[in-house]
Amino acid sequence: MSATEHSINLARAAAQAGADKKAESIIGLDVSERLALTDVFLLLSGDNERHVRSIVDAVEEALHKAGAKRKQREGFTEGHWVLLDYSDIIVHVQQEEDREFYALERLWKDCPEIDLEITESIESE
């Protein structure tokens, strides 16, 4: 069973919010066949603690507007690896060095990547 359309739409909204804040290496993975607890892992990278927190704030706002309710948030104070659990999707916002070290996309390489349909934002021009 693949990720639901609802989960994919939430991942796209979160990914776009992250892209609007200049998050890098944005990847969505359909983990629904490997994990019972969620459909999608969304991975985003930021340059430093402040950037990671800015991305997290934007993602939370976008998902709130989409009607998603956050179950848990971990790591925000430290700003190195923030995990946002929305049940249907789990968002990982990491500093680039943590992203390289933990290599979540390598751990979940057998899961299909989701087309996040990110568009270039006006802010980035």
What are 110's two structure tokens? 């057998």
- Per residue in 49-105, pLDDT (tens digit) is 999 999 999 999 999 999 999 999 999 999 999 999 999 999 999 999 999 999 999
Domains of the chain and any CATH numbers: 5-114 (3.30.460.10)
Q: What is this structure's pTM?
A: 0.92
Question: Apex CA 85: angle with CA 121 and CA 53, to 5°?
Answer: 50
- Per residue in 13-56, pLDDT (tens digit) is 999 999 999 999 999 999 999 998 999 999 999 999 999 999 99
The answer to whether the CB of 66 falls within 8 A of the CB of 57 is no
In DSSP terms, which residues pair with 36 in a beta bridge?
none
What are 88's two structure tokens? 């249907």
